[in-house]
Chains A and B, each alone.
Chain A
Amino acid sequence: MQKLLEQIVAGASGWIELRYQARSTKRITMRNGQLEESSSALLAGLGVRALVDGVFGFASTTDVSNKGILAAIEAAQAAARTSAASKKERVAGLAKANMATGTFKVNTDDPLDAHTLEEKLALVVKLDERIRSASNQIVSSTASYGEIQDEKIIVTTDGASAHVFDSKPDLRVMAVANKNGDQTLGMETSGVTGGWADLLGIVDPEVLADKAVQLAIDQLSADHPTGGNSVVILDPGLVGILCHEAIGHTVEADIVLGGAITADKIGKVVGSELVTLCDSGATEHGPFAVGTLPVDDEGVLTKRSVLIENGVLRSFLHNRETAAHYGVEPAGNARAYVYSDDPIIRMRNTYIEPGETPLEEMIGDIKDGYYLSDLGLSGQADSNAEFMFGVKEAHRIVDGKIGELVRGATISGNAFEVLQSIDAVGNDFRWEHGAGVCGKGQAAKVDAGGPHLRCTLTIGGRQE
């Protein structure tokens, strides 16, 4: 296939980007002892982007014969050509980039295909059963395993010819507890870029199930927190959510150009000098981060971007078009989820660099505050960096010690004000390793993380 694409590109007129993608997915879900889903999908196709007179056109097809590919190229060029007369804003050019050539494999010793469907189903059955039998207060259990394996070939008329493999498995468990009609939910997920052993090694699946059960049951007897401004410790999971949802989206160059709060902030102080925030295609500080990506879908070799350095906004996230507009080098942030999607600006692994303060020291200084872990069910953030997140697990901190669990906590504020308020950055690090996807018209598997942080924000007491 790579040879065929290279030959076609060599004979093409104008700028062309061909992206062949073969994807294999599986999902097995057990709910209350019954099979909810057991499905697999094998999807292959070609996406073509053409640039004619400063206008992009896109076409996709499942016919990947020589003839089918040529027809798709013609359709993409026709799409660009027909818009060219009326389009107001044109692509000024594509930034020069470090275009990828060669083969890029997944870093694992234990590929998913070395394990049978039966083995994967058995794990899900066992976890579902473990949750249901953990306590008579548990009234509903769910366990689910999913995997995505990709093979992509990206060939462009300006130098990319990359053969890229990817593998992203995940686990999700959920427990619902009930006491006198009061229902509480415990949910845990794990995900990696890697193989079977890597997924099971990140968190022991039984520990994951037990955590979900414990969280559901403990909430039954928990009080709601007191609303208001509070000193809090954010755990690495929540730090990651803040980095991705509340900060990261506001520095995506397409969002910036559409009018984001960051538009005129390059070179300006946007956070505490303790904060250095990055987005990377590699998996710094810890292996198997979910958003790991060696080559993006424009065929650009990925690099680490320092978005905020010691509190100063340094860079936006770019594709080749916006990088040219701003006169910078792209770092490989153009991503497409499936072959029929065109590449758009996305994050990969987004994180805050670890600092120097041990967690105990950070907590020890707090007389009255909260220790907050991971994202709950709800959350939203706007391009003006205003956010509201549900917190999955919140504990009071009293006189320097972690105390009782509270339920239904939310946090809200402006992400940049929260960054300004950070007065301690932990010397630890963890990736969130979640199972979800980021949505922006199309999905993307991403990761986020960081050290523990101490900051000030608004806690919402009750959440309906």
Chain B
Amino acid sequence: MTESKLLSSCQTAMDLARKHGADQVEVFGQNARSITSNAEKNDLQISKSQQETRLGIRALIGTQVGFASTNDLSKLEDAAADAVTLAKASPGDPNNILPEPVEAEPVKGLYDPAAASFGTEDAVKQTIRMLELAESIDKRINVGEAEFSAEILDRVLINSAGAERTEQSSLFTYTILTTAVDGEKVSNMDYKFGASRSVSGIDVDSITRRSCANAVGSLGAEAGESFKGQVVLDPYAVLSLLYLLPFQLNARNVLRGMSRWKDALGEAVASSSFSLVDDGRIPGDVGTSSFDREGVPHQRLPLIENGVLRSFMHNTYTAHAFGTANTGHAAGAAGSLPAIGPTNLAVVPGTVGKDDLIAEVDHGLLVSRFSGNANPVSGDFSGVAKAAYLIRNGKIDRPVSGTLVAGNVFDALKSLSGISKETEKVLVYSYPYLRFEDVSVTAG
């Protein structure tokens, strides 16, 4: 389906919802074509291709709202009628409003025309490349899982307030999970992620090499040591701990009283060296698009500046409820009502190299992956440091296994003592190495 046909289907759906009695209507349409090639245990698994067109209709009658979605264009009238019926039956809420149209420049670098001719065979080749490269690097490597996906996505947003936005994007993502096995010795599992908007930017070699190096490097790990002290987290371990930040910064969770930071705007919530920014307009980045799920342009939004909480992420509903500006963080796809979520979320990098962060540690732990839980409300975390290394006198001493780490994310953010200049992009998150103080480390 072409972008113009998707747009006209959205317009038809809007007209139908009005015909059935909606005062205001928003229609979000998407057309996705994707190819996935997957491998498990060093062997190719089933390859898949998918094509789906889906429309989501939000109908308002006064302050009552109803939502219906369909991927069956012959059922647009049924879906429109469902949305209106649900609105009529539902209690009103004054925050149910549509955003006023705002003009914004399109973002560059989202679509590569070469993606149109990228086929299943090309995707399978990339997966085979990961398997073969891993095998050639070291015979001891096991590829537990490798996956390559290619997607072309058309998005259309229209509403009865006059908004009309369309955008086409291409995205290639690839992941690898490896372990190394040497006789009786089994390394920890290592996970790496990579992404590109363009065919020429695809680079599965880099993640494969780094994953293999980490897996082999953690071979021969033995029991660690118990202490309370400094822990350096690599960007993947940072991702596991800081995944609870978007929850705290989601204005809907603030509204529900569930965010730890609900009363902390303008207050220090982290070390003064810590800044967190969300920017949905970085050209060609994984989380980039010109407009959010409600058609509102994304922006660069400082959330935490020098440790001080500056803003929450809002969509139209929460912005109205708080009487504040909409930050363009309506998230989600055509299958559900607009939610709230980050675009490209980044911890602002520091000025020191990661090796310098480690060099300043007398006795500590470097953690490459964290497997455990962090409670989004209390911030308490506990789990196993996977692929961890003991640091002695400023140097990596030896790999350790089964080491438990525990602490509190909110306390750790305040006791943060170092941020590296190197960062890594994992999914939509860009994180540096972080060094925390006073973390409980227990030998397993």
Contacts and interface: CB of A to CB of B under 8 A. Distances in A.
A117 B89 contact: yes
B254 to A, nearest CB: 16
Interface stretch (B69-77, B99-107, B156-164, B233-241): B69-77
A415 interface: no
Contacts of B49: 58-60, 72, 75-76, 79
Contacts of B190: none
A60 B375 CA distance: 38
Interface in B65-98: 65-72, 75, 78-79, 82-83, 85-87, 89-91, 93
A89 B43 CA distance: 7
A43 B70 contact: yes
Nearest to A22: B72
Q: Which of B89, B119, B336, B337 has the most CB of A within 10 A?
A: B89
A39 interface: yes
A60 B70 contact: no
A320 to B, nearest CB: 14
A58 B48 contact: yes
A21 to B, nearest CB: 11
A38 B65 contact: yes
B198 interface: no
B29 to A, nearest CB: 12
A57 B250 CA distance: 40
A464 B54 CA distance: 41
B40 to A, nearest CB: 8
A82 B36 CA distance: 12
Nearest to A78: B120
A79 B35 CA distance: 9
A339 to B, nearest CB: 9
Interface string A56-74: 1111111100000000100
B67 A39 contact: yes
B305 to A, nearest CB: 32
B112 interface: no
A244 to B, nearest CB: 23
Contacts of B44: 55, 83, 86-88
B89 A39 contact: no
A37 interface: yes
A162 to B, nearest CB: 21
Contacts of B42: 88
A245 interface: no
Contacts of B121: 78, 82
A35 B120 CA distance: 44
A56 B85 CA distance: 43
> Interface range on chain B: under 10, 10 to 19, 20 to 34, or 35 or more?
35 or more
A35 B69 contact: no
A45 interface: yes
Interface string A16-44: 00000010000010000111011111111
Nearest to B131: A86
B128 interface: yes
A185 to B, nearest CB: 13
Contacts of A109: none
Contacts of A57: 46-48, 120
A37 B47 contact: no
Given A60-B51, A78-B120, A79-B49, A39 B85 contact: no
Contact of A59 (B48, B68, B69, B87): B48
Given A45-B71, A62-B71, A79-B120, A40 B79 contact: yes
Contact of B50 (A55, A60, A89, A258): A60
B306 interface: no
A57 B78 CA distance: 34
A24 to B, nearest CB: 9
B119 A78 contact: yes
A200 interface: no
Contacts of A34: 91, 93
Contacts of B1: 63
Contacts of B91: 33-35, 125
B190 to A, nearest CB: 19
Nearest to A76: B49
B350 interface: no
B131 to A, nearest CB: 8
B380 interface: yes
Contact of A41 (B37, B52, B68): B68
A340 interface: yes
A118 interface: yes
Contacts of B46: 56-58, 79, 83, 342
B11 to A, nearest CB: 19
A204 to B, nearest CB: 23
Given A63-B51, A89-B43, A117-B89, A39 B69 contact: yes
A63 to B, nearest CB: 7
A73 to B, nearest CB: 11
A79 B335 CA distance: 27
23 contacts: A34-B93, A38-B67, A40-B67, A42-B68, A42-B79, A43-B54, A44-B72, A44-B75, A57-B46, A57-B120, A60-B48, A60-B50, A60-B51, A75-B120, A79-B49, A79-B124, A80-B47, A83-B46, A83-B124, A87-B43, A88-B42, A121-B89, A125-B91
Given A41-B69, A82-B121, 8 more contacts: A39-B336, A42-B78, A60-B51, A61-B51, A62-B72, A78-B121, A86-B128, A87-B44
Interface of A: 22, 28, 33-35, 37-45, 55-63, 72, 75-76, 78-80, 82-83, 86-89, 117-118, 121, 125, 258, 340, 342, 464
